[in-house]
Amino acid sequence: MKDEKDCEEQRLGHAGPAITSKEDEDQPIWEAAELSYTVPEHEDGIQLRTVLLSRLNLSRRLITRLKKLEHAITVNGGRSYNHKSLQAGDKVVIRVAEPQKETIEPEPIPIDVIYEDDDILVLNKPPGIVVHPTYGFPNGTLANGVVHYWRGRGEQTRFRPVHRLDQETSGVLVVAKHAYAHQQLSMQMQRGEMDKRYIAFVEGCPNPLKGTIDAPIDRDPVERHLRIVTPDGYASITHYDTLTCYTRNGMHAAKVSCILETGRTHQIRVHMKHLGCPLIGDKFYNPEGQLYKDIERHALHAAELSFNHPMSKERVVYEAPLPADLVQLEEDLKRKE
């Protein structure tokens, strides 16, 4: 089995001097976040790098980037990354800066905001829309709509999705509004501290009704856009719990809650097929599905997302109700005929 980390990669203020660097001197800079740390008495002599890495939890990559910017890392108000050690009472301030240049074009695409503050934007993604521009979808994406929403409010924030949802999957999606928030949330994903719960409607009724699917996933060697369960794949774990079983026209179906322990591409879709209960409407993994043909997408919804807020560290939970098409599907499945 392959060994791979799961990836889908203090006080905050918003004031301070403009930040510039040689590589950014020709483009404006948007200051996105400010963090500070005052050295306590018992840490007299602590290394600045230790403060950045262990107290403010900056990644090495972000530190390298900030070192190139004027006034991005200061000690007692002065630019100084060369401090070998700090004294008790020294104040370290980090200003996270973002180039205002954004290649994503704003488009007036409606978005459903669940929650927003200076650090994160939580959305209820509708089915049928791609999260980020790709070669096949250069525009008309959720990102285009979010950038339009921000620009309309005068914000120069860059679009930084912390994770992705398939085009047809609906539900909760979190976007970081600056590099530090993105780094903090990505680290939580890597450590398995971000919890995701999905609702899936499947053909058949799982047996057993509740359990864990521990089955490695990798690309299909023949159809590269698909994923398969294979012993040589990447570790993939899904916990599932059957909420309701239905019988319609002599065939069985179920509403299943799925919690991801890992975050592989198409994981729930592949694992439920592996269990013998492929998703209703899934054109890739259930093309011959007979139970319900009226739905235009696979029946999967990201119902709940919880994580530690990147700044306050408080545990937060966000939910998105079932969209109209899945509500209709559930009502139809409840009917015997």
Helices 179-190 and 60-67 pack at an angle, to 10 degrees, of 160
Return phi, psi of residue 87, to 5°. Answer: -105, 155
Q: d(Cα 283, Cα 298) in Å, to the nearest integer? A: 7
CB 95 within 8 A of CB 19: yes
Instruction: Taking the CA atoms of 127, 129, 134 and 135 in sequence, report the sign of the dihedral they define.
Output: positive
- 332 in catalytic set: no
Q: Where are the alpha helices (DSSP H) in the chain?
A: 48-50, 60-67, 142-152, 179-190, 267-274, 324-334
Burial of 131 (0-12, 13-18, 19+ CB in 10 A): buried
Asked if residue 112 lies in contact with residue 102, where contact means CB atoms within 8 angstroms, the answer is no
Nearest-angstrom CA–CA distance, 324 and 162: 26
DSSP state of 109: -
Estimate to the nearest angstrom the gap between the alpha carbon of 148 and the chain centroid. 20
Residue 196: count other Cβ atoms within 10 Å of its Cβ: 22
Nearest Cα neighbor of 175 from 138, 137, 134, 144 is 144
Between CA 124 and CA 174 the distance in angstroms is 9
Catalytic residue among 166, 218, 282, 325: 166
CA distance 179 to 200: 33
Cite the active site residues: 166
